[in-house]
Structure 1
Amino acid sequence: MGKITNEENNWIKVNKWLKRNLTWVYFTIAIVFILFPNTDYSPFIDKWNNILQKIGFVGLTSGVFASVLKSIQFTGLFQEELTKIISGTEFLNNRKDLPDLWKKISKSIYAQKFPEISDLLEDRILTTYFPMDRNHYNEDLIVSIVIHDINDDFIINYTQTIEYNAILDNEKNESYIVYTDTIKDEQKVTEKNELLSFKVDGIEIDKEKCRTVKEEEGKIKYIHRVPISGKKKFKVFLKVKNTYSLKGENVKLLRFNTITKNVDVTVSYNKDIDVSFFNVGVVNDFEPIHTDMLNTLSRRHRDDLILPRQGFGLSFNKR
């Protein structure tokens, strides 16, 4: 590209000045057209002087007003009201393109910084962290884990209970509670996940009827899917007994599949076992509580949300 000359640079400055002061330029020209024909310096006859005055009045009443209106519309008087309309709930609810609208908004935030990954980032946020197919979130979730023993072959046995409130979407009147167990598809591996109880509002669910089985990548998945509908809040209770070997990996991960608010975790174990807690993906860490209790590990998560694929982990060792 060639170097900008002084004349071009001056023209750019003048152009920017005109844009910034367009209202006053209109106003000044209109006043000149109104006043100049009445002076002794006007070389025009009365007919043309009257025409110039009319042009001035028209410019003053239309051009200046339109210019002023355009300039204040987005910088002052009407900005707040327009913002209320555009971002209001009713306006958004009537839109049928909210995912596309989200992408357009997000592009204005980060696409200029990361154009190469912006599409992947948008899809990940919508499908994983704000899943559109989920019509509820979980609240006041309590996880209790009782470790019964770790034997000499490093096989762990424990019982886990999870209870929480499922809060249904205000607009949608139905959703699904989903619980998934995964075990390795190998005969020689000691592994067992037994769903002892699955209750919704105190009513035991028929586990056989709500369960589907999938095999993928050397693992068997037992997916339990229960529909909920008709009211705002549902009480969910799960109790599972797990047995598996710690020789390959001495950790347990619990990652949530639904947006979750308020979580309490309690782990009980005997004196010959060491248990460590670690956070998985959360922005604000779980806080230790009840630290003076022997053979018990307690953590609490408040004032934040846990998004899908986030949660916590435990590692185990024998003393």
Structure 2
Amino acid sequence: MLSKLYSNRSFQSSLPWVMLLLGTGLLFLGYFSDFTNEKVQELTKKLGETILIGGVFAVILKSMQYTGIFKESIASVIYEPKFLENRKDLNFIWEKMSIVLFRNKFPKISDKLLHDVKEMYFPTQEVIYYENAEHELKINIIDFDKKIIKITTSSTLDVICENKSTKTFYEHGHSLDCKDYKLLKFKIDGNDVVKPEVYTKNVGGIEYQMTKAKLTGKDKYRIKVVVERIVNLNEDDIYTFNATKIFNKLKVQIHFDNGLSFDFYSLGTLKYFNNSKNHDHFIEYTYDDLIYRKQGYFIKIKI
């Protein structure tokens, strides 16, 4: 009964004024009425003072609430990152806010849309990302008539970790269907990786041979990997790069022999690569933004 009464909006709004009137009445009664018992008179005065002070305080809080000051103070605490870190319902809050942002325009696919955005673009499970990556491709003709070429790819990038105590790894690999493949260099901070871990894994029904090295004790590493492939363009004329982590900035430089040409395409990126340099037998593309997982570029090579 009491909880129902207190939750009533009319009662909540009138309570500060009731306290003011009651406190003033008790003070008036305590000071201007004759009591046969002095202790009762003193108690009436004290009780009136207490209720009056409480009423004044309640009126001030109510006015602050109406002017938005109290609401803004509460909101600043609620949405403070330190407060949010302790919440267990962040996914629920994010989903509700996202629905409001796009106004629930597509209710039939909203669940799938929110799931894909969270899994693809929010690195909730990641502890690293890649930065300042450079891919230098040297494409040379081995046999013009048979359309056989050699592609030497030098990849450099910075691995940015969450903090110095992050324990992670860097890995690269190639499809087992690619027979003429050589790993020429694998360096971390300028030092050769002596005994990398080598294993195979299946991705989308394709078997890959992976080479992996552990990273621990630093918040940034410089990686360099150089690989060589012999390719028959009659069998495979597409060179593809798919990001496995988030990249911040990527530069692609291509050196190629006379008699070769190619078409460069963005692969799922939110923007297009910029063709920043173009000379004889050399071309450069840059992407000065974020590249998310499963995005990148591909090149169609022609001889």
Aligned to 2:293: 308
Post-superposition CA distance 1:35-75 (Å, at most 9, x none): xxxxxxxxxxxxxxxxxxx9xx99x8588656544444xxx
- Identify the range of structure 1 (221-230 vs 168-177) with the bigger mean alpha-carbon deviation: 168-177
Aligned to 1:163: 156
Post-superposition CA distance 1:216-249 (Å, at most 9, x none): 6663211233221212211111111122333355
Number of equivalences:
266
Aligned partner of 1:81 among 55, 73, 86: 73
The answer on 1:102 being equivalent to 2:87 is no
What SS does the corresponding residue of 2:250 show, helix, strand or coil?
strand
- Identify the range of structure 1 (107-116 vs 136-145) with the bigger mean alpha-carbon deviation: 107-116
Shift of 1:134: 2.0
Aligned to 2:134: 142
Shift of 1:119: 2.4
Runs of 4+ in 1 over 6 A off after TM superposition: none
Aligned partner of 1:279 among 249, 257, 266: 266
Structure 1, unaligned runs of 5 or more: 1-18, 35-53, 185-189
Q: Structure 2 counterpart of 1:308, which letter?
A: R
Aligned to 2:168: 175
Aligned partner of 2:188 among 191, 200, 204: 200
Overall identity of the aligned pairs, in %: 23
What SS does the corresponding residue of 1:138 show, helix, strand or coil?
strand
What is the aligned-residue RMSD (CA, Å)? 3.6
Q: Equivalents in 1 of 2:173, 2:90: separation in Å?
A: 30
Aligned to 1:299: 285
Q: Equivalents in 1 of 2:215, 2:164: separation in Å?
A: 14
CA contact (8 A) 1:135 1:172 kept: no
Aligned to 2:29: none
Post-superposition CA distance 1:130-149 (Å, at most 9, x none): 33332111111111000011
CA contact (8 A) 2:157 2:223 kept: yes
Q: Equivalents in 2 of 1:141, 1:245: separation in Å?
A: 28
Q: Equivalents in 2 of 1:131, 1:294: separation in Å?
A: 40
TM-score by length of 1: 0.70
Q: Equivalents in 1 of 2:159, 2:88: separation in Å?
A: 26
Aligned to 2:215: 228
Q: Equivalents in 2 of 1:259, 1:102: separation in Å?
A: 21
Structure 2, unaligned runs of 5 or more: 1-8, 23-47
TM-score by length of 2: 0.73
What SS does the corresponding residue of 1:134 show, helix, strand or coil?
coil
Post-superposition CA distance 1:93-126 (Å, at most 9, x none): 3445544543343344347222222222233233
CA contact (8 A) 2:148 2:232 kept: yes
Closer, same or farther: CA 83–61 of 1 in aligned 2, 3 Å? closer
Shift of 1:80: 4.2
